[in-house]
Amino acid sequence: MMEAGQREALERLKESRIEGAIIIGGNGSQAGAYALSRAGLPVIGVASTIDNDLPGSDITIGVDTALNIALEAIDRLKVTASSHHRGLLVEVMGRNSGYLALMAGLAGGAEAIVIPEREITPEAIADIMRSAYDRGKKHALIVVAEGAANNAERLAPYFTDKSRLGFELRATILGHVQRGGAPTAFDRLLATRLGVGAIEAFVRGERGVLVGWIDGRVKTAPLSDVVRQLKLLDLSVLDMAEMLSK
Amino acid sequence: MMEAGQREALERLKESRIEGAIIIGGNGSQAGAYALSRAGLPVIGVASTIDNDLPGSDITIGVDTALNIALEAIDRLKVTASSHHRGLLVEVMGRNSGYLALMAGLAGGAEAIVIPEREITPEAIADIMRSAYDRGKKHALIVVAEGAANNAERLAPYFTDKSRLGFELRATILGHVQRGGAPTAFDRLLATRLGVGAIEAFVRGERGVLVGWIDGRVKTAPLSDVVRQLKLLDLSVLDMAEMLSK
Amino acid sequence: MMEAGQREALERLKESRIEGAIIIGGNGSQAGAYALSRAGLPVIGVASTIDNDLPGSDITIGVDTALNIALEAIDRLKVTASSHHRGLLVEVMGRNSGYLALMAGLAGGAEAIVIPEREITPEAIADIMRSAYDRGKKHALIVVAEGAANNAERLAPYFTDKSRLGFELRATILGHVQRGGAPTAFDRLLATRLGVGAIEAFVRGERGVLVGWIDGRVKTAPLSDVVRQLKLLDLSVLDMAEMLSK
Amino acid sequence: MMEAGQREALERLKESRIEGAIIIGGNGSQAGAYALSRAGLPVIGVASTIDNDLPGSDITIGVDTALNIALEAIDRLKVTASSHHRGLLVEVMGRNSGYLALMAGLAGGAEAIVIPEREITPEAIADIMRSAYDRGKKHALIVVAEGAANNAERLAPYFTDKSRLGFELRATILGHVQRGGAPTAFDRLLATRLGVGAIEAFVRGERGVLVGWIDGRVKTAPLSDVVRQLKLLDLSVLDMAEMLSK
């Protein structure tokens, strides 16, 4: 049974004489794309979200730009990190996904990475920072996903009382800054290829599919599969990051 | 009467056979420089703080770099601003000084600037944003100094309840990111000139002075004056920013 | 038969009690790595060159950073492009490989791309620029690989006489600027993964192999294969760029 | 006597019912502004040129942005500089003025600065580079103004024959890249202030003047003076740069 909203959307598209749609976006947009497709509209989806949590594409449009903005912030923080009882925290975007935090933390050499997929306690974070300084590190940098239980807002009260964990935390919250900026070469090339791929899929007669980037190639996957699957974060990357930070 | 800390500092310097010092920093550092100078150490101060609130220098080392980092964040936020009931907020550094917030807001075309030197209420901020959208603006951007009574932390509760002020706020808190980054040309040239100026002042026999940049030239001012004065923000610049945002 | 240089290299390594090597570099370095490997030294290669012309890795360390620097230059040039009888040219690195020029040109929306793998005449370049303006484009931008027969130096004389081709050319030659700069997130993550991959390959007992990135995964290939193959540029990408520039 | 071009310009402005003009530009534009002013059009000039060679303003709109782009290139080159018999050269804009080259060279710590206002021979440049390496420097970097007699094009043949001067030169020619890019905070604030200053001057009834930045303040100067004066480069800055590079 079709929902009222979808029925209205279809009618509006017909009135505007729009006979098909290429829908660029993440999980929410592609769920909508699938609904319109089932309602009879010729639809092609293009994989685009900075969270990189959309099944059907190894990497999605926007991730590389957001990642480089986060990394730039981390690089700048490292310049100022010096006090032995101070931790620097960067909160990056990601309501349900720790992908950006994980990759920014790995690329930026963070001492701790806090993501929804594997939470750690404030006490454990303080331990990691203490141990980083003990091993001669010049900074103690934590990257946190906004969607982590212990995000910047929730970690603040633990660290306000310096005597408690022995550490003062200075937070940077990037917020929507990560969505702006000039797109990187990778993102422009990915968008170009997926865009061309969407047109080619249309011409080939494919409908109700997502155009994504799989194993270094443009590939299409049925939207019916995409909306039913869940793309999980590869936590072995977190293991690697933790190993390298030691 | 000399304080114990200063006496100890002097003794340590003597032990290390340090016979003079060039002290680079803001109000706190220059107060220390003045104390050491009064205690007999040959001292020259160099004006450096990102807050630009040090008397004896029109502009201080670090301001230009911090300002450009804030502006870059503002530029990126503007790309993503689109929803008519959303405000974007950037909190920049400045515990007691609104200089960075004011200049970043003016250069970035902010709709509202909130600084310790002239506070405004959350209701007034919501009015400004509403009126910006009414006049056809594509974004409603607020720049806030961390030291303002209504900084990011304190504004959040007002805007969480969207029904109250009719606006949702998305915050970016830059924090120490503004202290890092490659220094701009302006800051390197200023540091070069003040550094050369400090050496030249030493050679000329000047002691207990601050080397600063006044009216486009290197000038020295007695530290005794510097520590007794207060550098006030030129609020006519805020008037100009408000006029231009309309 | 071993060359004198390799024998000397081996002896020096022995004297320094170096019992193995991880060699990071492109075709030249990996040829050396292969020679040392055949001479008995345990060797692992890691794929790194900004030219992206090394067999055994889809993409190599350094490419993404160099590409983004070229793209940034292209973006800046587009801001200044305005005159209808002026062409802007950017020469990017690549002595034998047009990869950087091709990808920078595609990502940056160049009107013409000149690479060693498919040369075009100055007359054809002028035609493309003329036609771009005729179609209402605001700029005529050419990206040239330094190794192209018609690189910046050789194109200059054709365009100096404006009456001849009807176009004035303003050239930017990036040169070694592309080798510097803070590495991008992609390059740091690739370097991290290939580095970890090299250690793991060593531990597994692999010798004389190149660690590269194939189909989105770390893979090893025998150096004997790598040095005998040639990695050709995918010229269908150039076709795509030409189609998109119209 | 009025020139035909000016008469035509005035007539066109009248036809379009344009009763006055604010003319933003450098020496050429302000000469035109002066001519229009003498012909009876109410005119205000605003000081803008990346060459910083316009009398009536200590610094002009565009200089700071161009300078930071040049400095970024220098920073990137320094990362790659390593070979002891290699010199890296950056050619920056400036047909008649060495201002950008001088300031970029000073801020970037160049070993040699070549400008039209004080030329040096290729042999002297090679000597400076040799001596830099002898003193333990890690790079030999030269900044050249495009308008210098020994610019990138003319220096190339001297250094091609490595045996002659003992040095290989790798050149980066920035070209119009320096005119693009997001304007820096300084440039936006300067443009804002001079723009507001131009309106205020108009309202005050001033005509035929240039609005510039003198001693840290907006000031106006008669265009009749501006077009008759010559703004000379302060060569003591070059002396300072040379002293600091040793």
Domain C4-61+183-228 is found in CATH 1.10.3720.10? no
Q: Which chains have at least 3 CB atom pairs separated by less than 8 Å from chain B?
A: A, D
Given a cut of 60, whether residue D173 has pLDDT beyond it is: yes
| Number of residues in chain D | 246
Contact D104 B192 (CB under 8 A): no
What's the whole-number average pLDDT of chain D? 91
Q: Name which of C88, C176, C181 is nearest D170 (Cβ-Cβ).
A: C176
The per-residue pLDDT for range D99-143, each reduced to its tens digit, is 999 999 999 999 999 999 998 999 999 899 888 888 888 778 999
Return the active site residues of D: 51
A51 is catalytic: yes
Strand partners, C23: C45
- The dihedrals phi and psi of C43, each to the nearest 5 degrees, come to -135, 140
Cβ contact, residue pair C177, D79, below 8 Å: no
Checking if the pLDDT of C233 tops 80, the result is yes
Instruction: Select from C76, C79, C176 the Cβ nearest to the Cβ of D172.
Output: C176
**Please, which residues 77-106 of chain B have a Cβ atom closer than 8 Å to chain A?**
77-81, 88
Q: In what order do the strands lie in the sheet with A112-114?
A: A112-114, A141-145, A86-92, A168-173, B168-173, B86-92, B141-145, B112-114
pLDDT for position B1:
43
- CATH 3.40.50.450-classified regions of chain D: 4-61+183-228
For chain D, state the CA radius of gyration. Answer: 21
CB spacing of D175 vs C171 below 8 angstroms = yes
Contacts of C106 in chain A (CB under 8 A): 189, 192
pLDDT at residue A244, rounded to an integer: 86
The confidence score (pLDDT) of residue B2 equals: 60
Smallest Cα–Cα separation from A226: which of A8, A80, A34?
A34
Residues forming CATH 3.40.50.460 domain(s) in chain C: 63-181
Q: What does the pLDDT look like over B187-225, one tens digit per residue?
A: 999 999 999 999 999 999 999 999 999 998 999 999 999
Per CB-CB distance under 8 Å, the chain B contacts of D240 are: 192, 196
* Beta-strand relationship, A217-222 and B86-92: unpaired
Percent of chain B with pLDDT over 90: 64
User: How far apart are the C-alpha atoms of D101 and C89, rounded to whole Å?
Assistant: 22
Looking at residue C118, what DSSP letter applies?
A: B
Of D70, D75, D188, which is closest to B107 when you measure between CB atoms? Answer: D188
Which residue of D58, D72, D189 is in closest CB contact with B106?
Answer: D189
Q: Which residues of B belong to the active site?
A: 51
Domain with CATH 3.40.50.450 in chain B: 4-61+183-226
Residues in chain A closer than 8 A to B73 (CB atoms) = 177
Sort out which chain D residues have CB atoms less than 8 A from C77's CB and list them.
176-177, 180
Q: Is D176 on the interface with C (CB under 8 A)?
A: yes
Please state the pTM of the whole predicted model: 0.93
Backbone angles phi, psi at B204, to 5 degrees: -70, -10
Q: C63-181 — its CATH code? A: 3.40.50.460
CATH code for the structural domain at D64-181: 3.40.50.460
CA B3 to chain centre: 29
| B67 near D CB under 8 A | yes
CB contact under 8 A, B175 and A172: yes
DSSP H helices in D135-235 = 152-160, 162-165, 185-204, 223-228
Q: Is B174 on the interface with A (CB under 8 A)?
A: yes
Query: Which residues, 6 or more positions from A132, have their beta carbon under 8 angstroms from its beta carbon?
Result: A111, A139, A140, A245
Q: What confidence score (pLDDT) does residue D84 get?
A: 60
| Contact call for residues A80 and A89 (beta carbons, < 8 A) | no
**Does residue C180 belong to the interface with chain D, where contact is any CB pair within 8 Å?**
yes
Average pLDDT over residues C225-231: 94
Q: Judge whether residue C203 has pLDDT over 80.
A: yes
| C1, pLDDT greater than 60 | no
B178 chain-A contacts, CB cut-off 8 A: 76
Query: Quick check: D83 pLDDT over 70?
Result: no
A184 near C CB under 8 A = yes
Chain C residues in contact with A244 (beta carbon < 8 A): 192, 196
Cβ–Cβ gap C180/D75 under 8 Å: yes
Dihedral over Cα of A7, A8, A12, A15: its sign: positive
Position B149 pLDDT exceeds 50: yes
- At residue B140, the pLDDT reads 87
- CA dist A213 and A219 (Å) reads 6
Q: Which residue of A has its CA nearest to B156?
A: A153
Which part of chain B is CATH 3.40.50.460? 64-181
Query: Does the pLDDT of residue D81 top 70, yes or no?
Result: no
Query: CB B103 to CB D185 under 8 A?
Result: yes
Handedness of CA A77, A79, A83, B22 (dihedral sign): negative
pLDDT value of position D202 = 95
Contact D192 B216 (CB under 8 A): no
Whether residue A143 contacts residue A94, with contact meaning beta carbons closer than 8 Å, is answered with no
Assigned CATH for B4-61+183-226: 3.40.50.450
D73 touches chain C (CB under 8 A): yes
CA distance D93 to chain C (A): 11
* pLDDT higher than 80, residue A36: yes
Q: What chains are in contact with D, requiring at least 3 Cβ pairs below 8 Å?
A: B, C
Under a CB-based contact definition with an 8 Å cutoff, are residues B208 and B221 in contact? no
Q: D64 and chain B: CB distance < 8 Å anywhere? A: yes
Is D174 in Cβ contact with C175 (below 8 Å)?
no
Whole-angstrom CA distances from C113 to A17, C67, C167 are: 38, 14, 17
